Copies of this chain bind each other. A is one copy, B any other.
């Protein structure tokens, strides 16, 4: 920790200095801003330059930082030099380096220069764009950019402002889902009455992101009315329209009211794709709202050869993807389009006296506060605008295709090595793989406790991971060991999932700095750790 009191505070005439004309003492003095700003730019540039030196997954222990920082805020100012020293010494070791080219975990958080600069400009202007009036550019640029992006995705015109719909930037998919769910809920409650909230039912698959369950909980949907359609390996974990229809029919017969379906293009565990067309057909029969969550995979649908993954979106009511995942726009930036903005605004509008203004009254403007959960909102469209303009459509397609190409390279390595297998077909730039049951078998001739190798049939097992491993057998245990061993090394970082009882490793390409050489080296790391683990399996296991 840097020393305190680098700067001697003039206690006696403090107020005079600040309320007076001592501009250097102003916390937004332009020249001091310039000096410190340049320092931090260099700090971050150097961070990117050296990023491969750090373990990708932070190796600190819980509570590490408390031991290093004081127990209270400093009384006197500290210099930016001292603070940046502490960032380097105490913060960087506690960071998991999502921008590292050796980061292959979860989904990417793909930063870019343009995204960063857009965020800087938004932070510099620091406007609170709740309505048009509070900063017209913030609203208008957002509407324009959302139409640009909608066109790039070939969304139906009904989702664009140039149609009768429109787009809005939310923080995260969680917020987008909650907003659309509340709109759908209220659309029905306006007909059947608020007293019937307990009858409303919502639908998803067992692969749907956990954000949906949370949104339903927040929106007051009865937890008993949250329907999860099971998926299977044989259909690559995509939602079955027939199973959905059967579930809905049973609910309607029981006097319940289906209101909302969450369909996913690119699920978190395996990037599975739900069949939008057939699912929307089912939902339409019951007047349900369909939201399409393409948080990860939406980005690549700007490439014509990938666009078919969102075929059928024309039957949905809303569509969202996260530009902060795989579209070079820094966190947070979720792009949401809706066909019927009035459904959103009927649920989310506020109109206090202190926000009344002539522009709103003229009904010629969009007030985005009524399209989202919060009142205040940052000028997020700037970063998206800078990304679109700095790279252009063709180059953005090129970046995304290069990630898919690298994932294909990795997939090729897995397929060419008979100790490994690809668990589900790769749709985008994420490869789900594991050490194969046969490789584990050949390393271990006798297994105790009657544990069966490989898959188990109970895919709904939600007991703790520790218990699961015992049940799911040695193959899963070996693969978990592989993942922990790799991540513990700090060389690369991957995460896992369990689907259909199979513990799998996810190799998600998409960090901006990743090049093919990193993928080749990553595969070497995987092979190395797998070799060690397979050789350490006792030939007779008898614990």
Closest 5 CB pairs of A and B: A220-B220, A94-B137, A37-B41, A44-B124, A65-B140
Residue among A49, A77, A209, A223 with max Cβ neighbours from chain B (10 Å): A77
| Interface residues of A, dominant DSSP | helix
A176 to chain B, nearest CB (A): 10
Is A515 positioned at the interface, with any CB of B under 8 Å from its CB? yes
Say whether A211 contacts B375, CB under 8 Å: yes
**A/B interface sample: 11 pairs, CB < 8 A:** A18-B402, A44-B121, A66-B140, A69-B144, A78-B392, A96-B127, A171-B374, A178-B373, A194-B222, A268-B354, A332-B378
- Cα A324 to Cα B375 in complex, Å, equals 13
Q: Give every chain B residue within 8 A of A405 (Cβ-Cβ).
A: 15, 19
**Number of identical protomers:** 2
- Cα A45 to Cα B36 in complex, Å, equals 11
Within A185-212, which residues are at the interface with B (CB < 8 Å)? Answer: 185-186, 194-195, 197-198, 209-211
Give A330-352 as 1s and 0s: 1 = Cβ < 8 Å from B's Cβ atoms: 11100000000000000110111
Q: Give every chain B residue within 8 A of A247 (Cβ-Cβ).
A: none
Is A126 positioned at the interface, with any CB of B under 8 Å from its CB? yes
Q: Give every chain B residue within 8 A of A127 (Cβ-Cβ).
A: 95-98, 109
Say whether A362 contacts B28, CB under 8 Å: no
Say whether B120 contacts A106, CB under 8 Å: no
Q: Give every chain B residue within 8 A of A348 (Cβ-Cβ).
A: 214, 217-218
Is A158 positioned at the interface, with any CB of B under 8 Å from its CB? no
A112 to chain B, nearest CB (A): 4
Q: Which of A146-154, A285-293, A523-531 contacts B (4 or more CB under 8 A)?
A: A146-154
- By beta carbon, the residue of chain B nearest A324 is B376
- Cross-interface CB contact of A398 among B14, B58, B386, B465, cutoff 8 Å: B14
Q: Give every chain B residue within 8 A of A452 (Cβ-Cβ).
A: none
Taking A28-B513, A113-B27, A148-B73 as contacts, is the C-beta distance between A376 and B172 under 8 angstroms? yes
Q: Give every chain B residue within 8 A of A116 (Cβ-Cβ).
A: 33, 37, 120, 123-124
Taking A14-B398, A374-B174, A402-B18 as contacts, is the C-beta distance between A393 and B73 under 8 angstroms? yes
Tell me the count of chain A residues lying within 8 A, CB to CB, of chain B.
Answer: 174
Say whether B41 contacts A376, CB under 8 Å: no
Give A1-39 as 1s and 0s: 1 = Cβ < 8 Å from B's Cβ atoms: 000000101010011011111000011111111101110
Q: Give every chain B residue within 8 A of A18 (Cβ-Cβ).
A: 398-399, 402
Q: Give every chain B residue within 8 A of A34 (Cβ-Cβ).
A: 41-42, 45
- By beta carbon, the residue of chain B nearest A34 is B45
Say whether B113 contacts A32, CB under 8 Å: yes
- Cα A214 to Cα B13 in complex, Å, equals 45
Is A417 positioned at the interface, with any CB of B under 8 Å from its CB? no
Say whether B117 contacts A120, CB under 8 Å: no
- Cα A178 to Cα B62 in complex, Å, equals 29
- By beta carbon, the residue of chain B nearest A516 is B19
Q: Give every chain B residue within 8 A of A464 (Cβ-Cβ).
A: 361
Given contacts A41-B41, A94-B136, 15 further A-B contacts (CB under 8 A): A9-B392, A18-B402, A28-B112, A34-B42, A47-B124, A69-B144, A78-B390, A80-B390, A94-B141, A99-B125, A106-B354, A111-B123, A214-B350, A214-B373, A214-B375
Is A135 positioned at the interface, with any CB of B under 8 Å from its CB? yes
Give A347-371 as 1s and 0s: 1 = Cβ < 8 Å from B's Cβ atoms: 1101111111001011011000000
Say whether A174 contacts B375, CB under 8 Å: yes
- Cα A347 to Cα B214 in complex, Å, equals 8
Within A306-341, which residues are at the interface with B (CB < 8 Å)? Answer: 324, 328, 330-332
Q: Give every chain B residue within 8 A of A217 (Cβ-Cβ).
A: 182, 186, 347-348
- By beta carbon, the residue of chain B nearest A497 is B354
Say whether B26 contacts A353, CB under 8 Å: no
Q: Give every chain B residue within 8 A of A96 (Cβ-Cβ).
A: 127, 133-136
